[in-house]
Amino acid sequence: MKAINYEKYANMSTKQLVNALISAEKKEQKLKQEAEKKFKESAELIRFLTSKIKENLEKPKYEFFTREQTNLDELVKEVESKMTPEEIKEIEEEVEREAYGQ
């Protein structure tokens, strides 16, 4: 913003001073409108960002699925149907050892 040169107004007539005053008031009004517009835009951005942050914080970090949703039971049955009883028994024993340290 440039400095105001008050000297140029010192020797003006009353009519010129009135015109300068009207011009300055119009400029002031324009600056107020521009500032208000920028303020509203900034406030709108702040509200948007706040809502997005809140939305992200409320969203669960991990999504959990039930066994029914994953179809694991069907997959286990399909794999077991292709295995021999000896293979199934061997896997069950291995799981037992790892789970219970036997």
Residue 82 to residue 93: CA distance in whole angstroms:
18
Q: What pLDDT is recorded for position 1?
A: 67
Residue 20 CB contacts under 8 Å (≥ 6 apart), including other chains: 9, 12
Residue 41 vs residues 47, 55, 66, 80: alpha-carbon distances, Å:
10, 21, 45, 63
Q: What pLDDT is recorded for position 10?
A: 92
pTM: 0.50
Q: What pLDDT is recorded for position 98?
A: 86
Over the chain (102 residues), what is each successive 10-residue block's mean pLDDT? Answer: 88 96 97 98 98 91 82 86 89 87 68
Q: What pLDDT is recorded for position 92?
A: 87
Domain ranges for the chain: 10-64, 67-102
